[in-house]
Every structure is written in C-alpha cells, then in structure tokens.
C-alpha cells in the first residue's frame, strides 16, 4: 500500500498534502514517509517468521540520522561502509553489536573505530581481501581485542541488473572468489586476534528476479559445508542486499518470496544458521519523493521542455544510470485530456540534466511535480555542482511533518573554503 496517494485530486504524503509541504519548506525538497520506511522494514522482518535473522539496513541508501533513528526504534541492524556511516548509526541510537561493516577499502582509522565502539566493537567486519585481513589482525592485536570477521565471497553470479550496480561477477572489484575465500578463512582461523564469524555475499542492486539470489545462496551454502570439513564453523550468513523495487511497473518478487527463496536454499543444503540481510533500496526507495516546481515552459520545434527547480545535482540517478523515475503532477490532471509529451529538465548547465524524458503530462509553469521512488540513492548522491545548495529533507509522520535536514545556504557552500593572502 503506497503512502503517497491522491486525495480529492491532490497528492498527499501520508495525511499531509504536497502543496502545503511546498508552502512550508519551498521546493525542491525531499519528502519521506515514516510509515513507508516502517512498512518495508517490517515486510522483510516478518517474512522470516521465527527463523533467526537480522535486518541490517544498508545505510548508504539514505543515511539521514532521523531515518536511521526510525529504523533503530524497530530494532534494526545496519550495514555500513565507512567511518562516517558508523558515526551516523551511533548518533542515531543504533546498537554497535548489530552493525556489519562492509566495503573494499576500510582505512586503519575506520577499523580502529569499528573495533572500539560499543561494548565490544561492531558485530562483524566483512573482509574483501587478504591484505585487509592482515591489517585487521594487526590492529586488533595492537588494541588487544578480538575482531569478528566474515569474508565477502564473490559467487560469480550474474545479477542481471545495470552493470554499474552489479557486484557479484568475477570481474568485479568486490569480494573474494571461492578458492581465495577458502584460503582466507583458513588463514583467519589461525590468527590470534581474529574470530571467524560470518560468510557474506552481495551480488548487486535492483535485482528483480529470484534466481540470481538462489544461485548465490547455493554457492555460499556449499562453501559453508566445505569449511566445516576443515573444522571452521560459520556463525552467521550475511546475504547482502539487492532486492529491487517498482520504479516503472516492473514485476517483482515480494519480501516473502525473497525470504522463502533464501530459506529454501538453506534447507536444501541442511543449513540452519542465522541470516543477516542488508537491504537498502527495498526499505528506502519507495519511501521518498523529490518535490519540485516548474520554473519555465520552453517549447521548441522538436520538444517541449518543462524546466524544473531540481536538477541532476539533487537527483543524479537518471543522468548516471539512465534510471527511470516516475514523474507525476501534484494536482491530478488525469481527467484533463490536454496532456503532451515533455522533457523534464533541471537548471544545471549539462545536457545530461534530465530527470525524465518523453513524459505524457499536462503541465504549466508554477506546477508542482513529484519525482517518485527517490527515497534511496537520491539525496545521498546529491552534490553542490553549479553551486546549488542541497534541498532540505522532510519526514512526514501521519499528519505532521518535520524538517530532518535544513536547506543549505551560501555559507554552507563555502564553509571550509579560505581566501588566502596572495603576494600580488
């Protein structure tokens, strides 16, 4: 059930009308729904029933601390990829022992932070190279602690998604191929300050079929069994994120089908270890929209342009991945039959600054438009290109709205910059 609905022809976020949000916070702005974040998180959590599991929300999808706090209140774990994300989770009230730390290039400083936070450091560091394993042993010894680790296995599975967000093929920089992972586990099991905790895998993002997940889980399961023959016991399986969402009417597996598919593979291999998953997009993607206003209408011989006040710096997915985001008018004009084809473009001086192309809409200058599915990988990937202050983020909760990040101003843009005394 979507929380973004038309009521009497006006688009609402939960119980709040978009025009009143535009009036209160101005445009462009990001609008998130607390109820949607919670619904999506619960759908996955409940799909496991009483099977031992931990949902580790992938912080990179939307890392606003108010959003992390909404999820921490549900008891969520978190998947992080940097020291910055670690500090965000702790600032938002997340538990250190429910954090898994992924990422190919953890710095020495980040590893120290991860081993020292909370009562006994993060739950697990997912390791992606032999060198990283050695670095962790060295730091854990220096701190006189034991580091719980998992090896991220690259199962060489084609996730059949956009090449920029596929990570599970042998050609990717991510993880260790099965033979190298086996060696790394053997090495880890002999290290005095390292304890083997989990086996991790993440094959890509916006995956819309179950088969790649089934293939990946099967490879992982086989390796777990092989390790046990070597006397190495895995405590937890971390099966990554990647479940896709509806951007464009795709047919998608439900949360239940996704979880059942994982558990079936484990049953087939006679494995009943606790499972962690790292969903980002599934929880955040359809829990947010980007609200924007049409500044100008420009008609040329070939095309109609609706020039809006949000650009590729605010939402770069369409320019970077040719990603499709639905764009709808805040006032429902479906009954009007004067719709035309529009290019929805932003103010940035780049031809790639297009939010949507060939959209059948009825628009005029001053209209509010809603760019949908913008809760994940949207604000987090924004920039100040063209010296554009980033938009505010607003959290709607029932009939109320809260600003959870202020609109940036000029002083934010230049903070950290210095005019220097030059000789001439």
Give yes or no for residue 375 binding ligand LLP (CB under 6 A).
no
Of positions 88, 219, 281, 325, contacts ligand LLP by CB under 6 A: 281
Q: Which residues of 263-277 are buried (b: 16+ CB within 10 A; e: fewer)?
A: bebbeeeebeeebbb
**Shortest distance, CB of residue 281 to ligand LLP, whole angstroms?**
4
Which range of residues in 9-17, 18-26, 212-220, 273-281 is near ligand LLP by CB under 6 A? 273-281
- Binding residue for ligand LLP (CB under 6 A) from 83, 94, 212, 280? 280
Burial class of residue 33 in the structure, from the number of CB atoms within 10 Å of its CB (0-12 exposed, 13-18 middle, 19+ buried):
buried
Minimal distance in Å, beta carbon 104 to ligand LLP?
A: 9
The distance of closest approach from Cβ of residue 420 to ligand LLP in the complex, given in angstroms and rounded to an integer, is 36
Give the other-Cβ count within 10 Å of 121's Cβ.
24
Sole binder of ligand LLP in the list 88, 106, 197, 202 (CB under 6 A): 202
Residues 6+ apart with CB under 8 A from 183: 130
155 binds ligand LLP (CB under 6 A): no
Stretch that binds ligand LLP, among 4-12, 175-183, 276-284, 406-414 (CB under 6 A): 276-284
Euclidean distance between CA atoms 188 and 238, whole angstroms = 18
**Contacts (Cβ under 8 Å, ≥6 apart) of 245:** 206, 252, 281, 282, 285, 286, 373, 376
Question: Least distance to ligand LLP from the beta carbon of 377, Å?
Answer: 3
Of 153 and 330, CB closest to ligand LLP: 153
Candidate ranges 25-33, 199-207, 253-261, 403-411; the one touching ligand LLP (CB under 6 A)? 199-207
| Size of interface with ligand LLP, in residues (CB under 6 A) | 20
Taking CB under 6 A as the rule, which mask of x and - marks residues 295-334 in contact with ligand LLP?
Answer: ----------------------x---x-------------
Q: In terms of CB distance, is 124 or 243 closer to ligand LLP? A: 243
**CA 344 to chain centroid:** 25
> How far apart are CB 301 and ligand LLP at their closest, in Å?
34
Encoded one letter per residue, x for contact with ligand LLP by CB under 6 A and - for no contact, window 41-60 reads -----------------x--
**Exposed e or buried b per residue across 197-230, where buried means at least 16 C-beta atoms within 10 angstroms of its C-beta:** bbbbbbbbbbbbebebbebbbbbbbebbeebeee
Of the chain, the end-to-end C-alpha distance in Å amounts to 65
- Phi and psi at residue 322, in whole multiples of 5°? 50, 40
Q: Residue from 30, 185, 377, 379 that binds ligand LLP (CB under 6 A)? A: 377
Beta partners for residue 149, in sequence order: 125, 196
Site for ligand LLP in 1-40 (CB under 6 A): none
Active site residue 349: yes
282 near ligand LLP, rule: CB under 6 A = yes
Closest approach, Cβ 48 to ligand LLP, in A, equals 16
Q: From CA 250, how far away is CA 252, in angstroms rounded?
A: 6
**Interface pick for ligand LLP out of 27, 62, 154, 205 (rule CB under 6 A):** 205
Residues 232-261: x/- map of binding to ligand LLP (CB under 6 A)? --------xxxx------------------
Residue 102 touching ligand LLP (CB under 6 A): yes
Q: How far is the CB of 12 from ligand LLP (least distance, A)?
A: 26
Q: Which residue's beta carbon is nearest to the bound ligand LLP? A: 241
Q: Which of 56, 124, 201, 349 is labelled catalytic?
A: 349
Applying CB under 6 A, which residues contact ligand LLP? Answer: 58, 61, 79, 102, 165, 202, 205-206, 240-243, 278-282, 317, 321, 377
Q: Which residues are catalytic?
A: 349
């Amino acid at each position: 059930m979507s929380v973004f609905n038309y009521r009497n022809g006006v688009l609402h976020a939960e119980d709040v009308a978009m025009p009143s949000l535009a009036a209160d916070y101005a445009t462009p702005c990001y609008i998130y729904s607390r109820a949607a974040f919670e619904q999506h998180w619960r759908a996955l959590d409940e799909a496991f029933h009483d099977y031992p599991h931990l949902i580790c929300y992938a912080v990179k999808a939307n890392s606003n601390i108010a959003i992390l706090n909404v999820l921490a209140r549900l008891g969520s774990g978190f998947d992080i990829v940097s020291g910055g994300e670690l500090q965000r989770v702790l600032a938002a009230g997340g538990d250190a022992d429910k954090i898994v730390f992924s990422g190919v290039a953890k710095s020495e400083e980040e590893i120290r932070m991860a081993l020292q936070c909370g009562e006994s450091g993060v739950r697990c560091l997912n390791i992606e190279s032999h060198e990283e394993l050695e670095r962790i042993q060295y730091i854990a010894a220096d701190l006189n602690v034991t580091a719980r680790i998992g090896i991220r296995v690259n199962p060489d599975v084609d996730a059949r998604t956009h090449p920029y967000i596929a990570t599970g093929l042998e050609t990717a920089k991510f993880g260790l191929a099965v033979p190298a992972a086996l060696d790394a586990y053997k090495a880890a099991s002999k290290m005095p300050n390292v304890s083997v905790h989990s086996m991790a895998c993440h094959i890509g993002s916006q995956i819309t079929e179950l088969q790649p997940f089934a293939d990946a889980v099967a490879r992982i399961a086989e390796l777990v069994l092989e390790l046990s023959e070597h006397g190495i016991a895995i405590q937890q399986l971390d099966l990554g994120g990647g479940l896709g969402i509806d951007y464009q009417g795709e047919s998608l597996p439900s949360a239940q089908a996704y979880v059942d598919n994982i558990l079936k593979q484990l049953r087939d291999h006679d494995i009943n270890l606790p499972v962690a998953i790292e969903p980002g997009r599934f929880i955040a993607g359809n829990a947010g929209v980007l609200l924007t206003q049409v500044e100008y209408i420009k008609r040329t011989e070939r095309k109609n342009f609706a020039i809006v006040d949000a650009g590729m710096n605010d939402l770069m997915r369409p320019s970077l991945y040719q990603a499709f985001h639905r764009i709808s008018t805040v006032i429902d004009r479906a009954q009007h039959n004067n719709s035309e084809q529009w290019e929805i473009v932003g103010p940035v001086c780049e031809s790639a600054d297009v939010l949507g192309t060939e959209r059948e809409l009825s628009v005029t200058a001053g209209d509010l438009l809603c760019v949908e599915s913008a809760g994940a990988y949207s604000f987090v990937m924004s920039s100040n290109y063209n010296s554009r202050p980033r938009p505010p983020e607003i959290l709607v909760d029932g009939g109320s709205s809260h600003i959870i990040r202020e609109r940036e101003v000029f002083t934010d843009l230049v903070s950290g910059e210095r005019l220097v005394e030059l000789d001439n």
